[in-house]
Structure 1
């Protein structure tokens, strides 16, 4: 059965004790307002910067690992998308709450998350 996916945006992982300050820095650096200081939940601390001019979502996340930037691919079927990416050489690192953490053949980590707004532009890719 076909599924759809596209680049959703970027997560700025910050190893910090002050998520407000980190979000404020990236908000000002990128010219994107902090739109949700409480975007996370009990197990993850996020602040959402909203969509950039290109329509991408940017979030700042408090993490315990070294600071880095990772991307999210959104899909209407995350298991099918993870399987498609595995065929391309990626590997599943683990399932976290409601998304797959993946690793590219070149070592970069990224996540496959549920599609939030399937009808927004740009339209998602359709995969068999």
Structure 2
């Protein structure tokens, strides 16, 4: 059965106690206003405003070293993970409702459920 995926999020992983001042920095650096410094009410995610045809930009409070990673959104997580494994990626860890993956280059990324309605432009169809 075919499924769809596309680049969804640019995640700015921050090993910090408080995301607010870091959201302020990235907002000014990227020219993107802050939507919220507490997206889920748990202090772990901040969001910057992007257009519907751009990837979302989120700051995420993490325990590992600060870095930037990307998310691939899909309407079928297992099918997308299997497709990426055939390309050489490895499953690292299932978290809540997404997979942390590792590319053959060693870069970590996530495969997440569909983030926006409608799914939007720049969509790939995989058979």
Does the alignment reach a TM-score above 0.5? Answer: yes
Instruction: Report if aligned partners of 1:118, 1:124 keep a CA contact under 8 Å in 2.
Output: no
Cα deviation, 1:69-88, whole Å, max 9, x if unaligned, reads 00000000011100000000
**How many Å apart are 1:53 and its aligned residue?**
8.3
User: TM-score scaled to structure 2, two decimals?
Assistant: 0.92
- Consecutive unaligned residues of structure 1, counting only runs of 5 or more, are none
Residues 84 and 120 of structure 1, relative CA distance in 2, 3 Å threshold: closer
Trace 1:1-128 onto structure 2 (pairs within 5 A). Answer: 1-40=1-40, 42=42, 45-51=44-50, 55-117=54-116, 119-128=118-127
- The CA RMSD measured in Å over matched residues stands at 1.7
Residues 116 and 53 of structure 1, relative CA distance in 2, 3 Å threshold: closer
- Partners of 1:72 and 1:41 in 2: how far apart? 21
- Partners of 1:106 and 1:119 in 2: how far apart? 32
User: TM-score scaled to structure 1, two decimals?
Assistant: 0.91
Cα deviation, 1:4-44, whole Å, max 9, x if unaligned, reads 000002000011112101111111101111102221355x7
- Consecutive unaligned residues of structure 2, counting only runs of 5 or more, are none
Structure 1 residue runs of 4+, over 6 Å off? none
